[in-house]
């Protein structure tokens, strides 16, 4: 397919490369900043533009990968060409797009993508949604050229997924940094915790998290929890966090879980 990439951030960069590798043609890369447009365009053999009014309409799909609040204003610029237009956001409804252009869809990669970190795109879950079955089918076919994990997900589900991703990725990463700072404060290197972090994530690749929960809260070991709270005495926010998370684990241990 002929693909136009609107945006030059992490998602735009990884998607453009994955499409290019799968044999698609990247027609143009747009960014407000010409340097960013040019850099990505160079890597995927495309034209670079920084003026949406001059966008090339000879393409099969516009993929909009910009900040959530910029999506709709951007679509207005090329809605007149009536091309298939998708956004890549977890939090924006399909209807925000389909109210502007009928050929609308969503192409949401559920992965944490950084420009300087390669990722095997075949393993990245792609959540797709189309304004009608024909579009959905078309996006599904396109998605399957770059990923082995393609899911049909409606806008309500996608919002839940986006929220769940915050709990599964952004918040754990913050807790890693809390651990790192505790170690640094006592002259220990984060290196010591890295195998533990990796193993914890690997364990839930074949188990449900509740099945492999360990630690003082899981054992209801009040002595250790009290000692830990004592050690956090000078940080009220961490103390509250420790208590809340421990209470959650204890509550979890008392209920059954649906796979």
Site for a copy of itself in 135-174 (CB under 8 A): 149, 151, 153, 156-157, 159-174
How is 27-90 classified by DSSP, letter by letter? Answer: EEEE-SSHHHHHHHHHHHT-EEES-GGG-----SEEEE-S-GGGHHHHHHHHGGG--EEEE--S
Instruction: Provide the minimum distance between the beta carbon of 49 and a copy of itself in the complex, in angstroms, as a whole number.
Output: 25
Give kind and range of the element (H or E) at residue 128: strand 126-130
In the complex with a copy of itself, the residue whose CB is nearer, 140 or 221, is 221
Within 213-232, the residues that bind a copy of itself by CB under 8 A are 213-218, 221, 223-224, 227-228, 231-232
Least distance CB 150 / a copy of itself (angstroms): 11
Pairing mode of beta strands 126-130, 150-152:
parallel
Check residue 70 for interaction with a copy of itself (CB under 8 A): no
Q: Residue 230 is encoded by which pair of tokens? A: 């004592």
By CB under 8 A, the residues from 1 to 60 that bind a copy of itself are: none
Residues 172-201 that bind a copy of itself (CB under 8 A): 172-190, 192-201
Residues near 91 by beta carbon (within 8 Å), at least 6 away in sequence: 68, 158, 159, 162
- Residue whose structure tokens are 């300087």: 116
Closest distance of CB 58 from a copy of itself, Å: 34
Q: Which residues between 76 and 135 bind a copy of itself (CB under 8 A)? A: 91, 110-112, 114, 117, 119, 123-125, 127
């Amino acid at each position: 397919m002929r693909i136009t990439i609107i945006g030059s951030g992490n998602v735009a960069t990884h998607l453009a490369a994955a499409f290019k590798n799968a044999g698609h043609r990247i027609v143009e890369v747009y960014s407000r900043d010409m340097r960013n447009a040019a850099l990505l365009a160079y890597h995927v053999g495309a034209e670079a533009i920084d003026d949406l009014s001059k966008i090339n309409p000879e393409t099969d799909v516009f993929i909009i990968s910009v900040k959530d609040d910029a999506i709709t204003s951007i679509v207005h610029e090329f809605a007149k060409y009536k091309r298939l237009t998708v956004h890549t956001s977890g939090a924006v409804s399909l209807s925000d797009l389909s109210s502007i252009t009928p050929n609308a869809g969503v192409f949401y990669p559920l992965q944490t993508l950084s420009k300087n970190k390669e990722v095997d795109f075949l393993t990245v879950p792609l959540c797709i949604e189309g304004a009608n079955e024909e579009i959905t089918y078309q996006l599904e076919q396109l998605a399957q050229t770059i990923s082995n994990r393609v899911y049909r997900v409606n806008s309500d589900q996608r919002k839940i997924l986006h929220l769940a991703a915050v709990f599964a990725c952004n918040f754990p990463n913050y807790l890693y940094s809390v651990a790192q700072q505790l170690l640094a404060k006592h002259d220990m290197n984060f290196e010591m915790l890295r195998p533990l972090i990796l193993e914890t994530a690997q364990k839930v690749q074949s188990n449900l998290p509740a099945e492999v929960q360990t630690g003082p809260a899981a054992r209801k070991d009040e002595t250790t929890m009290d000692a830990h709270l004592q050690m956090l005495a000078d940080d009220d926010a961490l103390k509250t966090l420790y208590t809340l998370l421990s209470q959650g684990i204890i509550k979890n241990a008392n209920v059954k879980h649906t796979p």
